[in-house]
Amino acid sequence: MPKIEEIATYAQENAAKLGIKKFDIYGSTVDDTSVQVDQGEPKQVKASNRSGVTVRVWNEENTMGVTSTTDVDAKGLELALKTAYEASFFGVKENVPDFSPEATIPISNPHKEKALQAPVSELIEKLLVAEKELLATHPAITSVPYNGLAQRDIDRFYLNSDGAVRTESHSLASVYLYSKTEEEGKKPRSGGAYRVKESVAELDIAGCIKETAEKTISHLHYKKIKTGKYQVVFSPEAFLSLIGAFSNLFNAQSILDNQSLSKTDDIGKELASPLLSVYDDALHPANIGAESFDGEGTPTRQIKLIEKGILTSFLHSAGTAKRLNAQPTGNASIGAKVSVSPNFYHVFAAGTPEKELSLETAENVILIDDLQALHAGVKALQGSFSLPFDGWLINKGEKTSIESATVAGDFLELLKSIVYVEKEVELTPGGVAPRVWVSELSITGD
């Protein structure tokens, strides 16, 4: 991809030639390498270099057209600008997207250097060693059916005809291991773990192996569980899975489209237990792939969604912010329609609990490690869920794996039923969170 300065020059020259006065361009390049292994042999090697830009043009009547292209030389941009201009006469007449008022605000984030990419041979070797070590941890672990070691370089930019120019680069690497057991007369059991860092060299692969083995082995001696109401503890990943499944609660675009559990006037209402705070924090130190601006050029920032149980903010694009008399939050993606999505959740304890709770002393509680079938078991517009899960019945620190069970409930009721939020947080693919205790949920066993 040409340098951002060259693209800006191409865009300005071609826009002037075509008589286009108002436009913006968002683009990215992703250089990706990933490997998988199977029983001591390389299974799959993928390498890709993907680039593309989205061009938006406004005409004299202030309607807008959009086009996308992977061709960002002078000729490609000229064609994209021309196509978007022609499309603009068929654009929507109401709530037409506009530039973000914050697209030209300077960003103080320090420049990040991209990490040196490791050769594919090194990725395969590291993953083969990880698979071998994981298989050696216990005789019952017979395979690692899902695994992956990946590295990625990302370059992004945004520019517009008002003089906004933003660009950034970063690298990230990740490893994922998921092992499976085979024992005569017993059901297969499994467990997984994930790690992410800026480079392959910094990845804690040993920690990922250890966590995967411990989880898998802890499921070997499983038992059935009686159907009933239980106090439930969600692992950080499980709780963030639920937050993500019901993210329409905070999404201003969903609210305006009547596709949300929230209403426009819900800010300031008590949504959850006062023990819970939830932020969207793109620039959190633990967010390895932190992005300093969104698809509209708006700087990303910390957004307080729930503060001590009170719904405090929504996530906005420039358009939703204008319609709801708010500020853009740096959560927009541009395309045929501007969409809004979370960046990186930060869940943490707030307020003072009635008493400290611990898995070492708790009796008959369910620890849910991993929620499954979220695509099928969540009714996002009704607020209800019914999901199979992996987890344990815990009695005074003793963990007994649950053979198979389903947890069901209403998400808004769950938020208000939180009785304890632990202080220690963990990094997951969706953000950072602690374990969260809920007073009672319905568990259906076999």
Q: What is the pLDDT of residues 275-298, one digit of tens each?
A: 999 999 999 999 998 999 999 999
Query: Is the distance from CB of 236 to CB of 283 less than 8 angstroms?
Result: no
What CA–CA distance (Å, rounded) separates 164 from 181? 55
pLDDT of residue 341: 97
* CA distances from residue 290 to 26, 100, 293 in whole angstroms, order as listed: 17, 20, 9
Query: Is the distance from CB of 183 to CB of 220 less than 8 angstroms?
Result: yes
- 87-126 in b/e burial notation, b at 16+ Cβ within 10 A? bbeebeeeeebbbbebbeeeeeeeeeebbebbebeebbbb
Q: Strand, coil or helix: what is 348?
A: strand
**9 has pLDDT over 70:** yes
The pTM is what? 0.95
Place of tokens 């216990």: 138
* Bridge partners (DSSP) listed for residue 233: 367, 437
Q: What is the pLDDT of residues 149-171, one digit of tens each?
A: 999 999 999 999 999 999 999 99
pLDDT of residue 2: 67
Dihedral sign of CA atoms 129, 130, 135, 137 in order: positive
Query: Is the distance from CB of 271 to CB of 412 less than 8 angstroms?
Result: yes
Q: What is the pLDDT of residues 55-99, one digit of tens each?
A: 999 999 999 999 999 988 889 999 999 999 999 999 999 999 999
Q: Strand, coil or helix: what is 414?
A: helix
Mean pLDDT of 361-370: 96
Query: Is the distance from CB of 414 to CB of 271 less than 8 angstroms?
Result: no
pLDDT of residue 121: 97
Q: Strand, coil or helix: what is 340?
A: strand
Look up residue 410 and give its amino acid: D
**238 has pLDDT over 80:** yes
What CA–CA distance (Å, rounded) separates 106 from 125? 43
pLDDT of residue 329: 98
Q: What is the pLDDT of residues 97-113, one digit of tens each?
A: 999 999 999 998 666 78
| Mean pLDDT score of the chain | 95
